[in-house]
Structure 1
Amino acid sequence: MPIFFTRRLLLAFLLLAGAAGSHAQPVFRITAIPDESPTELARKTAPLASYLAARLGVPVEFTPVTDYAAAVEALANKQVDLAWLGGFTFVQANQRSGGKVVPLVQRAEDERFRSVFVTTNPAIRSLADLKGRTLSFGSQSSTSGHLMPRSFLMGAGIDPDRDLKRVAYSGAHDATVAAVASGKVDAGALNISVWEKLLADRKVDPAKVRVFHTTPTYYDYNWSVHADMPAARREQLVRAFTELSPATAEGREILGLQRATRFIPTRAEHYRGIEAAARGAGLLK
């Protein structure tokens, strides 16, 4: 057999083997609502992606998105396999997909989540003091940075669009704090977990920016998948998350970055209160 023909056969075999190998190892894609800076999200997700790759036996990649709506669309259209969603974005994704988005796990902290209102203005001591002032929410699709703070404001008899001088949307929790600290707005509403992390990392001066109101508790974040994902794969994911333990170095790192003591199974019924709040605030049709 001619040498050049043998080489062609070898090259063809290698190409076929490579194609078969890539087909046998599909990439498992995860994403997250961009409620913090892109660098912080990437830092938080990298160890989790490595852990899931080992547990699932496939490559895992983090796919960043530009905004909350893009995270909803990515999961609803099965462009990603797993998404970190807020309570409201879960409700939106479930509606967008015709009821085909399934929440798998949440942090134990997400059973009793809260938002905080912050300010630098000494005259602002309560929600009532916000009347006639400027306020920043986070993303319009944020549960803890918009929907629930808005809902609690309305419950206190304050219509943000009518009673405040101006309402702004920063796009992310850390950006809300920055807007308050710089004096762009009189006050801001954000997720309590991010606030506590900013304090712990000394990225905010508590002598300057302070909490003047903390909301009642509600269900919030979860990791969700599309209902078309095989049950066996869903069970793998639930086990992987719920078996994370602070007793191991890997578990301690991942849980710390995710700001979780542990992960627990969750279900769609937990987010009916979020859906009701969204409809009541006119944010969901």
Structure 2
Amino acid sequence: MPDSWRHVGRLPRTLLAAALIGVTLIATGLLKPARAQTPTVLRVSVLPVGSPVELSRRYAPLGRYLEQALDRKIEWTQSADYEASVEALVNGTIDLAMLGGFTLVQAQMRSGGKIIPLVQRDKDANYRSMFITPVDSGIRRLEDLKGRSLSFGPRSSTSGHLMPRAFLLAAKIDPEKDLRQVAYASGHDATVAAVVAGKVDAGVLHVYAWEKLVAAGRVDTSTLRVFYTSPPFSDTNWSVHADMPAATRKAITAAFLRIDGSTPEEQEILALQEATKFVPTRVENYQRIRAVAESAGLLK
């Protein structure tokens, strides 16, 4: 595992106190904000999906590319959970973060609108949630879930919880009132496992996770089937804090957009990222997610 990979969790009280001292020093002019300086290290966080070994394998080529393109060292971090990713970016312990659509909205709210999405994979603009169930469950549509059990993904997952909840509400199904049981899985794989094991009658995950599991032979489509596929929405993105110098933001964006598969190194990056290219994104692309989160009372 590369030395530049580390683990980040929630900020302990001692670090919070130190941060408050730092704010005081900044206010008195004794210390300049770290974001205002041009760093020699770019601290990058990815979504907590997969083991450290798997994440290192998946992101090492991208890290090498960014180090060369930006002329600075890349220090990778794996946040403990979705909330820790938000906290780290908002508090400045990381510089560039891969966020889900919902976690971007959460970060926007907690930072007073200072988190800026820069780029995303081309397919991230067309995420869909898929509801799955055993072939013999009798569930054919969302309305059939009434009185049954369902597993969402993690609570802060856009495609595994937030948007599926919105689609259920649109079908006049209140999960807490109309379902017999609501569960939350640790990840998309765990959602599928819960359905296969008969722990729940149905589960929901994003389309790319489902397709990947099917392609890898980890899902038996003779026993599981998709009974609802949602409309598309924007999801995963690479975001920074607005305090990052504009020139640095521009350089990061340009570096991602230049990845077109024209070299073997870039082909490897795109293959590992399961993308054909990266495209620009902006805050406005996530307004629907924000509206859904607000209406569901999930923004705190």
TM-score w.r.t. length of structure 1: 0.87
C-alpha root-mean-square deviation of aligned residues, in Å? 1.7
- CA distance 1:38–1:281, change in 2 (3 Å): farther
Q: 1:151 to 1:40 in 2, by over 3 A?
A: farther
| AA of the residue aligned to 2:69 | R
1:213 pairs with 2:224? no
Residue 60 in 1 paired to residue 74 in 2? Answer: yes
Q: Which position in structure 2 is the counterpart of 1:92? A: 106
Q: What does residue 142 of structure 1 align with?
A: 157
**Seq. identity, %:** 56
SS at match of 2:154: coil
Partner of residue 257 from structure 1, selected from 260, 269, 272: 272
Mapping for residues 11-30 of structure 1, pairs under 5 Å = 26-30=40-44
Query: What amino acid does structure 2 have at the position aligned with 1:31?
Result: S
Q: Does 1:75 align with 2:89?
A: yes
Aligned length: 263
Superimposed CA distance per residue, residues 33-86 of structure 1 (whole angstroms, 9 cap, x where no aligned partner): 224455443332222112111111111121011111000001001111111111
SS of the residue 2:147 aligns to? coil
- 1:222 — aligned with what? 237
Q: 1:26: how far off?
A: 3.3
Residue type of the alignment partner of 1:224: S
Structure 2 residue ranges without an equivalent (≥5) = 1-37
Match among 178, 188, 191 for residue 206 of structure 2: 191
Correspondence for 2:190 among 168, 175, 178? 175
Matches within 5 A, 1:101-120: 101-120=115-134
In structure 2, the CA distance between the partners of 1:270 and 1:230, relative to structure 1 (3 Å rule), is: same
Q: Helix, strand or coil for the counterpart of 2:78? A: coil
Q: Which runs of 5+ in 1 are unaligned?
A: 1-23
Asked whether the 8 Å contact 2:135–2:222 carries over to 1, the reply is: no
> Cα deviation per residue 1:206-252 (whole Å; 9 max; x = unaligned)?
22222111001111111000111111111111111111113322222
Q: Which has the larger radius of gyration?
A: 1
Find the counterpart in structure 2 of residue 164 from structure 1: 179
Give the AA of the match of 1:130. Answer: L
Structure 1: distance between partners of 2:141 and 2:54: 31
1:25 to partner: Cα distance? 7.4
